[in-house]
Structure 1
Amino acid sequence: MPASETRAQISLLVRILPLVAQEAVFALKAPLTGRWNRLSAS
């Protein structure tokens, strides 16, 4: 694989990873906060 192609893929990953991480955090937090809200409400 040419070095320029590797750099292009890395820059793409660097742009995508924060978004993916954010989505993952939201996906993990949503069920937890939902459960917590139900517990504190009852």
Structure 2
Amino acid sequence: DAIEYMCSVGPEAVFELEHMGLPFSRKENGRIYQRPFGGQSKDFGKG
């Protein structure tokens, strides 16, 4: 429920933040660089 909501509105929120001037690091392919923080994932990048 809360996670489902966050996942459904998250991309739009990131888009809005970027258009307000918040810089996001990007990979060479143009996608936003994401990295795990402690406790968020056991197998980041797998699956």
TM over 0.5: no
Which of the two has higher C-alpha Rg?
1
- Using CA pairs below 8 Å that are at least 6 residues apart, which structure has the higher relative contact order? 2
TM-score in terms of structure 1 length: 0.43
| Structure with the larger helix share | 1
